[in-house]
Each structure stands twice: as C-alpha cells, then as structure tokens.
C-alpha cells in the first residue's frame, strides 16, 4: 500500500524552535487533557523533539474516511517543511516497520519514522523525526525516546476509538428509540409523519421528507412537522427528483458533496438552492431486494452532514423505511392489495431478472398443456383366476376303501377313462349272499306251490323280490365303485395316489375335472370400480406363469353380490376368451385389465384422490 500524504490546513506546522521551557511546560500541561489524537499530537511533538534531540518532525494519521492508503498530517514542527519527512512516513505506512534514512546532501542527518498501531495491529499513524548530527549513540537514544513516546499516540488512538464507540452506542440507542416509537403507531400516515418529525429532531434538520417509488418515480408520502405538504408543488418536485437520483444510483447522496465524490449530485444541488442555500442528505432504502423509497434531510448550510451523521441516518433509514412501506401496504383495501400482488408478480414474470421463476412458469405451462391433451385408454385392473367353464366333481359313492387311483391333478383324461376305483370285495360277497338267498327262496317257493300252500307261496315270492332288489342295489353300487371321466378334460384337483387303501366317506370329493380349452376368468373387482364394468367390455389377461403373453377376454357376467376379502369389498366378474387359449390351465392366477374408455391421463391418475375428496366433502358438508 503506497500511502499518499496530505497536508491539512487544520494541522498547521509549529514554526520556531519550540524548545523553550515555556513551550515544554505548556505542552506537558496540555498533554493529559487533550480530548483526541489530533489535539494531543502537536503537544506530543513538542515534547518528543526535545527528548529525542530532533530539530523537526511530523505526525501523520491514516484517514479512514478517505480513499485507501491516504494519510494526512495532524502535527508538524521544525525547519523541514519539504517532502523528506513525507517520504519516510510513506515508507512506514507501506512496510509497517520502523524506517531510517539519511539524505545524500546531509549524511550526518538522520530521519527516523516509527509506526503507531491500533488494537488490531494495523498501522494507523506514523511519527517521523529528523535528527541532526546523528551519531550512533545519539541515534539509538532518539529511537528509544521515539519508541517510548509513541505510547502516548497509541493512548490517543484508543481514546478516539472509545469516543467513537460511545458515539456509535448513542446513535444506535437513538435509532432504536425512533424505531420503537414508530412501531407503536399502527396507522401508516400518522406513523410516517411522527417518524419524520423524530428524525428531524435527531438530525437537527429543518425538513425531513419520506417518499416511495411507484410506477417508476417517487411520490412523497410524509414530511416532518406537517400533515399537509402537497401545496408546495415546486419544492416537492425537487425533493422527489433528489430521491429518484439517490435510488437510481443506490447510494446515499449529500450536498455539499465530499471530496472525491463519484456519484452525480445534480438533483441534490438543485434542492439545496431552493429557498436559500441548505445542506441536503438523501438516503435510499431497500424493501426485500429492491430500492423502493428514500428519506431526504434538509438543514442549514452551516451544518453540513458529517460522516458519522451520515452513518447514523443511513442505519436509521434502513430500519424505519421498510417498516413504513409495510404499514403503507397494510393500510390498503384488500382489493388493492390483490391488484398490487398480481401486478408485482406480473412484472416479475415479464420483466428483467427472476430467471428461475420464468423457467418454472414455462415448465408449468408445458405440463398443463401436456396433461390437457395427453390421453390413454382407461383400464380397470383386478386379480384374476382361471377356472374351467364346466367343472365336474367326482365323489365317493359310498363308504369304503380306495383300491386304486390311476390319475391325479394335472392329468388329461378321455371320456370313459377310469380314474380311480373303490374296494368292492365286500359288495361282491354281499351280492353272492343275496344270490344264494334268492336261489333258496325259489326252491322253497316251488315246494309251497306243490303243496298248494297259498300263504307260504306269497311269502316266498316277496322274499325273492327282496333278494332281487338287494342284488340290483349291489350291482348299481359295484358299477359306481369305479370313478369314470365324464368327458374329455383335465383333472384340476385331487391326488389320491398317496391314499391307496385309505377309507373314504360317502360324498367326499375325490377329483375335479374340467374340460380342455374351455375356460372362464373370475375377476375380483373393487367396489369403487364395479360401476364402470359392463357386459361385453373387452380386455386382457396376463397370468403369473406367462408374464409375456396377453390373452384377450370379454366380460360375460357380473355377480351383484359383494365379497369381503383382505379388508376390502369386491365383486365377482366373469369373462371368457375370444379365442382358444391352450397354454392356460385352470387354477392359474394373474392380473386382468378391462378396457373402459379413452380418458385424460391426469383424470386417470387423480381418480382415487377425487373420489376420496368427494366422499369426505359429502361426509362433512353433504
């Protein structure tokens, strides 16, 4: 950092020898009571020249309010008023270390500069002395005296820092007092006038004005000490122009402008010339991320705004400005709030910036267009089971024991094929007994006829008829002891191969036979979808065993009786196949989908949600 040294007219040099006892005594007396570093520096320099044996010197202070690297002279004494001391000071500011130099034209003279650092170890001041006839011992003594003496300068810096801290605390307290008073007033216009009046008192201003930008230009909203200000049209127009100027440049502007001001202050100058010369300060404020207003301060030209005051008023404006804007917006009628919100969103949508919002809106429009035109077949899916169109059960004709089973579930059978047989030995013996009984009765009948015993004859005839009936019954049971396939088909249930010789009871289902290539599909349709199913609708079936094959189907029957299963009510719907499906087998499970109609995809996806909403609405409000 190359420091630039400015010679301040305020820090005039102390000409003359300044080594008399009177000057030294006066310096010692004034040193403890110096209120700031600038007040302390001339007295300190007088004493330092005496103690270090120097004939001239200067004290430099880094100007924190000016451009980076710029320092100014706050005290100077001695005969050397040229640039030699300034060069040594620049070296100290740049390197942050003690600097020593001897002029080529006066090699016996030494110039020594010592840095003065603050609490953050930053060089903020420099003391430079010129030592004549600077031998080694004298130079060491001068350097030691200068190092010890800079402690007074560091104390002056600390005192200035404490004063600035106290001033900052006072300003923050005053700013929060103004903010608290504004918050307590709920009416927007009254709060704005009261806040401007309190700001005028805090800034010793004659007039403080508040303006909000609407539709591209500023309109005054409140003026201190006055509830009616609209009659001063010329003045109000200049104030609004000054606010527009500050908002456009997004910076606080004041007049008279500070040195090295880079922003335009033409409107501030025109306002300062209204009704006599005056000092003007205009501070813009942000609401969210946009500058929407400003506050203008006007007071006598004899009281220009200091940097500290600018900082205080800038902070206070940033506090009260957005809140006053919110109060103004909240005081509007609801319909105007809606219009403002819609207009603001419209500007953000079609104006500059907000690229993500524009992208999101474009994506939303694209999605709305897609879902308003994209349609697909609406299909109702349900669990499905393949059954035979006709299914015959083969049961045990009487109580007995299983003799043989030649087929089991999954086997194909032809009409008339024997599937199983029951043990008929007891029946054969029983038949033989009745045949013998019949033969005996016939012999006795012949003897009774020969004896012409009519009573005995009738008895034997009845007993013979009884025996013949028993024989016929046993013959019928013997015929049924063999289970025969009623038609060509496949056994879909029953495996008695592990039950040979086991007992079976009359009526026990031993096998189930279904015809080949003649199936039906049994679907379990949810009760919320049954109203959309009708006879004749087509669809497709995919079974678990053949997931890559679709079998076309047609709804043939709807059973109007609900069945409870797995916590939900379903209806049995039967369907048949348009074409033969030799790959299917009874008992296969899968998913069936019935085509209903063509619908928008969004309606298909949201149907359950819409149905739930309708039921809920009817439950609470129906």
Closest CA to 16 of 56, 54, 72: 56
* 192 plus 315 within the same structural domain: yes
Distance, in Å, from the CA atom of 328 to the CA atom of 348, rounded to the nearest integer, reads: 21
Answer yes or no: are the C-beta atoms of 13 and 77 closer than 8 Å: yes
Q: What is the CATH number of the domain that holds 523?
A: 2.40.30.170
Question: What pLDDT does residue 6 have?
Answer: 55
**Residue 356 placed within a domain:** no
* 124 plus 8 within the same structural domain: yes
- Binning the chain into helix, strand and coil, the percentages to the nearest 5 are 40, 30, 30
Token pair, residue 142, equals 């001068």
**Residue in the block written with tokens 């063509």:** 598
* 301 plus 204 within the same structural domain: yes
Work out the number of other CB atoms within 10 angstroms of the CB of residue 280.
30
Question: What pLDDT does residue 297 have?
Answer: 94
Last residue of a domain, one of 310, 331, 352: 331
Residue 12 has pLDDT above 80, yes or no: no
* 588 plus 460 within the same structural domain: no
Question: What pLDDT does residue 8 have?
Answer: 46
- Conformational region of residue 216, where left means phi above 0, alpha means psi within -120 to 50, and beta covers everything else: left
Give backbone dihedrals phi and psi of 161, rounded to 5 degrees, phi first: -65, -40
* 10 plus 148 within the same structural domain: yes
Question: What pLDDT does residue 257 have?
Answer: 87
Answer yes or no: are the C-beta atoms of 252 and 321 closer than 8 Å: no
Question: What pLDDT does residue 20 have?
Answer: 55
Give backbone dihedrals phi and psi of 399, rounded to 5 degrees, phi first: -70, 130
Work out the number of other CB atoms within 10 angstroms of the CB of residue 108.
11
Closest CA to 68 of 144, 129, 122: 122
pLDDT tier at 295 (50, 70, 90 boundaries)?
very high
576-603 per-residue burial string, b: 16 or more CB within 10 A, e: under 16: ebeeebeebbbebebebbbebeeeeeee
Residue 609 has pLDDT above 60, yes or no: yes
Lowest mean pLDDT among 301-305, 332-336, 371-375: 332-336
Distance, in Å, from the CA atom of 585 to the CA atom of 409, rounded to the nearest integer, reads: 11
Residue 581 has pLDDT above 80, yes or no: no
pLDDT (tens digit per residue) in 27-74: 777 777 777 778 888 888 888 888 888 888 888 888 665 544 577 888
Question: What pLDDT does residue 65 have?
Answer: 55
Average of per-residue pLDDT values in the chain: 81
Asked if the peptide bond before residue 406 counts as cis, ω within 30 degrees of 0, the response is no
**Residue 379 placed within a domain:** no
pLDDT tier at 211 (50, 70, 90 boundaries)?
very high
Distance, in Å, from the CA atom of 320 to the CA atom of 435, rounded to the nearest integer, reads: 125
**Residue 367 placed within a domain:** no
* 138 plus 215 within the same structural domain: no
* 487 plus 524 within the same structural domain: no
Distance, in Å, from the CA atom of 404 to the CA atom of 97, rounded to the nearest integer, reads: 118
pLDDT (tens digit per residue) in 162-203: 877 777 788 788 888 888 888 888 888 888 999 999 999 988
* 243 plus 283 within the same structural domain: yes
> What is the average pLDDT across 569-597?
86
Q: By three-state DSSP, how is residue 213 classified?
A: strand
Answer yes or no: are the C-beta atoms of 310 and 279 closer than 8 Å: no
Last residue of a domain, one of 476, 510, 544: 510
**Residue 381 placed within a domain:** no
Distance, in Å, from the CA atom of 296 to the CA atom of 283, rounded to the nearest integer, reads: 6
* 321 plus 210 within the same structural domain: yes
- Conformational region of residue 566, where left means phi above 0, alpha means psi within -120 to 50, and beta covers everything else: left
**Residue 262 placed within a domain:** yes
**Residue 609 placed within a domain:** yes
Q: By three-state DSSP, how is residue 414 classified?
A: coil
Token pair, residue 255, equals 């007049």
pLDDT (tens digit per residue) in 513-548: 777 777 788 999 988 888 889 999 999 999 998 889
> What is the average pLDDT across 563-591?
83
Judge residue 333's burial from the number of C-beta atoms within 10 Å of its C-beta, 0-12 exposed, 13-18 middle, 19 or more buried: exposed
* 503 plus 522 within the same structural domain: no
Q: In what order do the strands lie in the sheet with 489-493?
A: 392-395, 509-515, 489-493, 412-413
Last residue of a domain, one of 164, 195, 228: 164
Judge residue 159's burial from the number of C-beta atoms within 10 Å of its C-beta, 0-12 exposed, 13-18 middle, 19 or more buried: middle
* 249 plus 118 within the same structural domain: no
Give the 3-state DSSP-derived string for 455-523, with helices as H, strands as E and coil as C: HHHHHHHHHHHHHHHHHHHHHHHHHHCEEECCCCEEEEECCCCCCCCCEECCCCEEEEEEECCCEEEEE
Distance, in Å, from the CA atom of 576 to the CA atom of 554, rounded to the nearest integer, reads: 5
Token pair, residue 159, equals 């005192």
Closest CA to 402 of 494, 527, 316, 476: 494
pLDDT tier at 253 (50, 70, 90 boundaries)?
very high
**Residue 375 placed within a domain:** no
Answer yes or no: are the C-beta atoms of 587 and 494 closer than 8 Å: no
Work out the number of other CB atoms within 10 angstroms of the CB of residue 323.
17
Distance, in Å, from the CA atom of 32 to the CA atom of 425, rounded to the nearest integer, reads: 141
**Residue 10 placed within a domain:** yes
How many structural domains comprise the chain?
4
pLDDT tier at 13 (50, 70, 90 boundaries)?
very low
Question: What pLDDT does residue 80 have?
Answer: 53
Q: In what order do the strands lie in the sheet with 278-287?
A: 217-223, 207-214, 290-300, 278-287, 253-255
Lowest mean pLDDT among 236-245, 462-471, 503-512: 503-512
Lowest mean pLDDT among 188-197, 321-330, 575-584: 575-584
Residue 408 has pLDDT above 80, yes or no: no
Question: What pLDDT does residue 1 have?
Answer: 43
Question: What pLDDT does residue 2 have?
Answer: 45
* 470 plus 554 within the same structural domain: no
> What is the average pLDDT across 391-403?
75
Q: Where are the alpha helices (DSSP H) in 70-214?
A: 84-95, 136-184, 188-203
Residue 18 has pLDDT above 50, yes or no: no
pLDDT tier at 246 (50, 70, 90 boundaries)?
very high
Percent of the chain with pLDDT over 90: 17
Structural domain including 404 reads 393-510
Q: What is the CATH number of the domain that holds 43?
A: 3.30.450.40
């Amino acid at each position: 950092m190359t420091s630039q040294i400015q010679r301040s007219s305020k820090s005039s040099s102390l000409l003359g020898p300044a080594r008399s006892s009177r000057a030294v005594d006066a310096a010692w007396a004034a040193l403890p009571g110096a209120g700031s570093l600038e007040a302390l520096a001339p007295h300190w320099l007088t004493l330092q020249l005496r103690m270090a044996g120097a004939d001239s010197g200067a004290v430099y202070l880094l100007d924190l309010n000016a451009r980076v690297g710029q320092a100014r002279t706050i005290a100077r004494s001695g005969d050397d008023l040229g640039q030699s001391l300034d060069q040594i000071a620049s070296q100290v500011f740049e390197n942050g270390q003690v600097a020593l130099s001897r002029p080529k034209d006066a090699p016996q003279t030494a110039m020594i500069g010592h840095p003065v650092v603050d609490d953050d170890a930053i060089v903020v001041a420099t003391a430079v002395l010129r030592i004549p006839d600077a031998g080694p011992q004298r130079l060491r003594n001068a350097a030691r005296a200068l190092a010890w003496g800079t402690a007074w300068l560091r104390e002056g810096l600390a005192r200035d820092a404490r004063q600035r801290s106290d001033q900052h605390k006072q300003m923050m307290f005053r700013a929060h007092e103004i903010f608290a008073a504004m918050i307590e007033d709920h009416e927007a216009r009254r709060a704005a006038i009261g806040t401007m009046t309190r700001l005028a008192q805090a800034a010793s201003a004659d007039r403080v004005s508040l303006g909000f930008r609407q539709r591209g230009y500023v309109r005054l909203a409140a003026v201190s000490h006055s509830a009616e200000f609209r009659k001063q049209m010329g003045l109000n127009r200049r104030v609004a122009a000054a606010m527009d100027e500050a908002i456009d440049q997004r910076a606080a502007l004041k007049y008279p402008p500070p040195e090295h001001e880079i922003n335009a202050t033409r409107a501030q100058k025109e306002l300062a010339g209204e009704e006599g010369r005056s000092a003007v300060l205009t501070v813009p404020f942000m609401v969210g991320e946009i500058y929407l207003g400003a506050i203008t301060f006007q007071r006598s030209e004899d009281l220009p705004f200091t940097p500290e005051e600018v900082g205080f008023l800038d902070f206070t404006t940033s506090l009260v400005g957005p809140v006053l804007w919110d109060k103004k917006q909240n005081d509007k009628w609801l319909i105007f709030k809606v219009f403002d919100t819609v207009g603001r969103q419209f500007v953000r949508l079609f104006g500059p910036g907000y690229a993500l919002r524009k992208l999101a809106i474009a994506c939303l429009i694209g999605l709305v267009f897609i879902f308003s035109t994209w349609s697909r077949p609406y299909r109702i899916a349900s669990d499905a089971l393949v059954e035979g169109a006709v299914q015959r059960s083969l049961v045990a004709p009487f109580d007995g024991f299983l003799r043989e089973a030649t087929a089991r579930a999954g086997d194909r059978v032809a009409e008339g094929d024997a599937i199983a047989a029951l043990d008929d030995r007891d029946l054969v013996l029983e038949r033989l007994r009745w045949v013998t009984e019949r033969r005996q009765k016939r012999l006795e009948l012949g003897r009774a006829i020969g004896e012409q015993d009519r009573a005995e004859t009738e008895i034997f005839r009845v007993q013979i008829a009884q025996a013949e009936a028993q024989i016929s019954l046993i013959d019928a049971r013997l015929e049924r002891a063999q289970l025969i396939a009623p038609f060509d088909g496949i056994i879909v249930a029953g495996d008695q191969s592990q039950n040979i010789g086991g007992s079976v009871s009359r009526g026990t289902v031993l096998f189930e036979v279904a015809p080949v290539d003649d199936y039906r599909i049994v679907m379990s349709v949810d009760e919320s979808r049954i109203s959309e199913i009708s006879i004749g609708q087509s669809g497709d079936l995919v079974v678990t065993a053949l997931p890559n094959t679709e079998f076309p189907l047609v709804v043939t029957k709807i059973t109007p009786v609900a069945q409870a299963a797995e916590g939900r009510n379903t209806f049995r719907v039967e369907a048949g196949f348009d074409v033969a499906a030799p790959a299917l087998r009874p008992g296969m499970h899968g998913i069936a989908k019935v085509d209903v109609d063509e619908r928008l995809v969004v309606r298909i996806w949201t149907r359950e949600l819409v149905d739930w909403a309708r039921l809920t609405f009817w439950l609470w409000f129906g």
